[in-house]
Amino acid sequence: MKQSITLGKVTKFMGLGFFSTLKDLFTGKLEKEDFKSFLRKAVVPLVSILLFIGLWHMGAKTLYNIEADFKIEKAFNDQGPEAAEALRACIASGASSCQPNTLPSPSQVWDSYKSLLRDHNIISADKAAFIEKTAALNEKRIAEGKDAITYTGRPSFVDQIFRSLKTVFAGFLLALLIAVPLGVFIGLSPTLKSAFNWFIQIFKPVSPVVWYLLVFMIVKTLLIDSNEDSSFTISFISVGLCSMWATLVNTAMGVSSVDKDFINVAKVLKLGAFQKIFKVVLPSSLPLIFTGLKITLSVAWMVLIAIELLAQSPGLGLFVWEEFQNGANDSNAKIIVAMFVIGIIGFLLDRLMLTIQNAVSFDKSDAI
């Protein structure tokens, strides 16, 4: 009976249950406990979002007025009252040539977001038209053994998002392929643990900038005669090397802490080395391994921005740097748009890893 009541409270906030909760709220039939839960799950987050936007708007307006007053006072001191009044009138008119360049308001950020989407649609249309125009010529060139003519126009903001995602997943895959096997061997062998401990402790705290420089030295030499995009290669290798350490350490800890009874059962069953790893060690270590992978993916997404900036790889990192260097009136707003996009994607990547972890994990009691 108690379980069915609890289940009813849970389902009340899912799907159509949410609308029934609103109906009970307005008809006065909602219980006190359910009302508190409704406030905590629906109303409080909405109020906090509105409060954040309100504080942001007031802060942006305050900074705008401070910089505007400073510019007017400076014009008064340097050029006289007429220049100061002309600047005041220019600022009041909203002309882009004289507006203070400071923290943008929420409405300015929203306008920049829509502007970036419009820009993406224009670039996508130009790219589609180019592909259509060069389709016949490219077929002829390919038949002759020549390289196809590719579109070399500037990427849109959406294109740069996908480029960053491609880079971070490539770096994450590299980190997984290096860290998990190495962590398994280190966890199984105390000798290897002693041999690699100094290596991990020294290189784990190294800055992304230093990893980028090291990878750049190696890759630029290996690809010296190649026409491949070296910026992507340098970026994803640097991301992988920066972010793999959490997975390496957690995998080694998970493997070394496997229940000895499981290992003894594997010996009794005379399982081979690979069978023992894949049927006993890895399943028992999955919780810690996935904790390391979650941290690795988060770190990879964070260091990606700095590495793309250094490698001049056309992703979100380069977009933020170019807008900062541009210094246009809408550049600050576009940087804030990128900040929100980076944060939202980071949150979604974390949820993705949690979903995968829940899908592949199991209760040890089920295996007994």
pLDDT at 119: 93
Q: Kindly state the tokens that stand for 85.
A: 């009044």
- The answer on 123 and 38 residing in a single domain is no
Cα 286 to Cα 294: distance, rounded to the nearest angstrom: 12
Residue 295 lies in a domain: yes
In this structure, the answer to whether residues 73 and 206 fall within a common structural domain is no
Of 93, 118, 144, the one marking the end of a domain is 93
Contact 37, 29 (CB under 8 A): no
* Neighbour count for residue 119 (Cβ, 10 Å): 14
Q: What percent of the chain has pLDDT over 90?
A: 36
186: its two tokens:
């280190």
Count of helix runs (H) and strand runs (E) in the chain: 17, 0
- 51 and 115 together in one domain: no
| pLDDT tens digits along 49-67 | 999 999 999 999 999 999 9
Q: Are residues 129 and 159 in the same domain?
A: no
Domain boundaries, position 142: 104-153
Whether 141 maps to a domain, the answer reads yes
Give residue-wise pLDDT tens across range 222-237: 887 766 678 889 999 9
Task: State the Cα torsion 92-93-98-101 to the nearest 10°.
Answer: 70
Give the pLDDT band of residue 320 (cuts 50, 70, 90).
very high
Is residue 123 domain-resident? yes
Mean pLDDT on 177-184: 92
Q: So what's the pLDDT on residue 366?
A: 44
**Helix axis angle, 282-311 to 230-243, nearest 10°:** 140
82 and 166, same domain (yes or no)? no
Are residue 246 and residue 350 in the same domain, yes or no? yes
Amino acid letter, 302 = M
- Tokens representing residue 311 in the block: 């490698």
Look at residue 367 in the predicted model and tell me its pLDDT. 42
Query: Do residues 269 and 133 both lie within one domain?
Result: no
Q: Rounded to the nearest 5°, which phi and psi values hold at 284?
A: -70, -25
What count of other Cβ atoms lies within 10 Å of the Cβ of residue 252?
29
Q: Measured in whole angstroms, how far is the alpha carbon of residue 366 from the centre of its chain?
A: 35
- Final residue of a structural domain among 112, 136, 153: 153
Distance CA 300, CA 172 (A): 7
Mean pLDDT of 137-150: 80
Q: Looking at the domain assignment, is residue 242 inside a domain? A: yes
**Pair 80, 313: CB distance under 8 Å:** no
- Check whether 342 has a pLDDT greater than 50: yes
Taking every pair of Cα atoms in the chain, the longest distance, rounded to a whole number of angstroms, is 95
CATH number assigned to the domain comprising residue 221: 1.10.3720.10
Total of domains in the chain: 3
**3-state DSSP assignment of residue 243:** helix
Residues 173 and 235 in one domain: yes
- Average of pLDDT values for 2-22? 46
Q: What is the DSSP letter of 147?
A: P
Dist CA 120 CA 159 (whole Å)? 8
Q: Give yes or no: residues 119 and 252 share one domain.
A: no
Integer angstrom CA distances of residue 140 from 128, 131, 143, 144, 324: 19, 14, 5, 6, 43
Check residue 19 and give its pLDDT: 52
- Is 355 part of any domain? yes
pLDDT score for 348: 94
Nearest-angstrom CA–CA distance, 100 and 190: 62
Domain annotation covers residue 326: yes
Do 161 and 73 belong together in one domain? no
Residue 4 pLDDT > 70: no
> Which two three-digit tokens encode residue 87?
């600047």
Distance CA 300, CA 345 (A): 12
Is the pLDDT assigned to residue 15 strictly greater than 80? no
Q: Cβ(100)–Cβ(67) under 8 Å?
A: yes
Do 142 and 192 belong together in one domain? no
Q: Is residue 31 part of a domain?
A: yes
Ranking 18-32, 102-116, 125-139, 351-365 by mean pLDDT, the lowest is: 18-32
349 and 324 fall within a common domain: yes
